[in-house]
Structure 1
Amino acid sequence: MENPVIIFGADGIAKAAQEIFDSNQVIVYGFLDDSVSLHNQQINGVTVLGATDDAGYLKLIGKKAEAFVAVDENAYRKGLVKMINEKRKKMPVNAIHKFVNIPESVFLGHGNFINAGVLVGANAKISNHCIVNSGAIIDHEVVLEDFVQIGAGSIINAGVHIGAEAFIGAGVTVVSGVTIGEGARVGAGSVVITDVSSGQTVFGNPAKPVEK
C-alpha cells in the first residue's frame, strides 16, 4: 500500500489496527472518532484528528490516503462504510497482520480486520468488513459473509457457512458443514454441532438456543 491510511475509530480494535498497519510498514496518517474527548489525543504517537465526518480529512480518501473502519459495533461500522462509499466512492482497505497465513486460493473482500496468528484454509471466502480476531482458524471452503465477527481462538471447521452480521464469540468450535444464519450469535466457548437459525443466539457444549 503506497498511501498512508486514516483509521475510522480510535478505541478497541483501532489500536490493534494501528499495530497491524505498523507491522506491514504502512503509515497511519491519523484517527477519526466521534468522541470529542478523544480529539487531539495521541495513540502510540498518532493523533486523533477529529470526527469521522470531518470533510477536510474525508477529501483525502482515495487521493492521498486510504481508509480503514476500526469499529466492532456493526450498525456503526456499516454506517461509516456507507459514508465512505457514498462520499468518496471508495472501499476501505484490509488490515491484515503480517503474521497470518492466507493461501492465494482464498477470496478476500474489502475492509476486513484479520489479526495476528489467524490461519485460513484453501478456497475459503472472507467477504467484506469482517473481523477475525487473533489466533482464529478459518478452515478450507469456509464462507464468511459481510460483517461477520470471529472471536479470538475460535475454530471454524471446513465447509461452514456463516451468514452476514453473525457473531462468533472467543474460543468457539464450529464443526464441519454447519450453517450459521444471518445475525446469529454464538456465545464464547461454545461447540456448535448443528445449524443455527438466522437471528438465533446459542451457547454451550453442545450449543443450544438461549431463551430470550
Structure 2
Amino acid sequence: MDKPVIILGAKGIAHPALEIFNSNEVVVYGFLDEDESLHGTELNVVPVLGNPEDDGYLKLIGKKCEAFVAVDDNQYRQFLVKLLNERRKVQPINAVHKTAYISTDAVIGHGNFINARVNIGAASEVGSHGIFHSGAILDHGVKVADFAQIGAGAVINSGVSIGKGAFIGSGVTVVSGVKIGENARVGAGSVVISDVEDDATVFGNPAAPIKQ
C-alpha cells in the first residue's frame, strides 16, 4: 500500500490496528478521536491529531491517505463509516494481521479488523466493517454480515450465518448451520446449538435466551 493511513479512533482496537499496519509496513499518519483530552498525545509515537469530524484532517483522506475505523462501539462505528462514505467518497481499508489466514476462496468486504491468527475458511463470505479478534475461526461456508463482531478464540463452524451487528463473545462455539440474527448477542464461552433471533441475548451451554 503506497498511501499512509489515518485511523479514526484512538482507544479500544486502535492500538492493535496500529500494530497490524506496522507489521505490514504500512505508515500510520495519525489518529482522530472525539475525546479532546487525547488530542496532542501519542500512541506508540503516532500522534492523536484531532476530531474525526474536523474537515482539516478529513480532507487528507482519499487523495493523500487511506482511512481505517478503529471503534468498538457499533453505532459510532457506523456513523464514522457513513461520514467517510458521504464526505470523502471512500471506503475504509481492511486491517489484516500478517498471521491471519484468509482462504483464496473467501470473500471479504471493506474496513474489517482481522487480528492475529484469525482463520477464515473456504467459500466464506465476510461483509464490511466487522471486528474479528485474535484466534477467531470461521470454518468453510460461513456468512458474516456487516458490522458483526467475533470475540477472541470463538469457533464458528461450517455453514453458520451471522446477521448484521451481531456480537459473538470470546470463546464461543457456534455449531454448524446455525443462524445468528441481526444485533444478537452471544455471551462469552457459550455453545450455540440452535438459531438466535434478531436482537436476542443468549448465554450458556447450551446457549439460552436471557430475559431483558
Q: TM-score, normalised by structure 2?
A: 0.99
Task: State the match for 2:148 in structure 1.
Answer: 148
Residue identity matched to 2:116: A
Equivalent position of 2:138 in the other structure: 138
Please show how residues 100-119 of structure 1 align to structure 2 within 5 Å: 100-119=100-119
C-alpha distance in 2, partners of 1:162/1:8?
25
Report the CA distance between 1:56 and its aligned residue. Answer: 1.2
In the TM superposition, residue 116 of structure 1 has moved relative to its aligned partner by: 0.2
- Gap regions ≥5 residues in structure 1: none
Deviation of 1:211 (Å):
1.1
Q: Read off the aligned partner of 1:124 and give its amino acid letter.
A: S
Task: Quote how far apart the aligned CAs of 1:42 are.
Answer: 0.4
| Residue 24 (structure 1) shift | 0.4
What's the counterpart of residue 37 of structure 1? 37
Structure 1 residue 82 displacement after superposition? 0.3
1:128 matched to 2:120? The reply is no
User: What's 2:199 paired with?
Assistant: 199
Runs of 4+ in 1 over 6 A off after TM superposition: none
Q: CA deviation at 1:103?
A: 1.2
Q: How far does the alpha carbon of each residue in 1:136-189 deviate from its partner, in whole angstroms, 9 at most, with x for none? A: 001100000000000000000000000000000000000000000001000000
SS at match of 1:84: helix
* Map of 1:65 onto structure 2: 65
Aligned length, in residue pairs? 212
Gaps of 5+ in 2: none
Q: What amino acid does structure 2 have at the position aligned with 1:86?
A: E
Equivalents in 2 of 1:188, 1:103: separation in Å? 26
TM normalised by structure 1 equals 0.99
Identity %: 62
The alpha carbon displacement at 1:104 in A equals 1.2
Q: What is aligned with 1:188?
A: 188
- Which residue in the other structure is 2:166 paired with? 166
What amino acid maps onto 1:18 in structure 2? L
**Distance across 2 between alignment mates of 1:123 and 1:109:** 14
C-alpha separation in 2, matches of 1:197 and 1:85: 30
What are the Cα deviations for residues 67-123 of structure 1, in whole angstroms up to 9, with x where unaligned? Answer: 000001000000000000000000000000000110111111000000001111101
Q: In 1, Cα distance between the equivalents of 2:60 and 2:104?
A: 31
The Cα of 1:126 is off from its aligned counterpart by 0.9
Alpha-carbon distance in structure 2 between the residues aligned to 1:22 and 1:52: 21
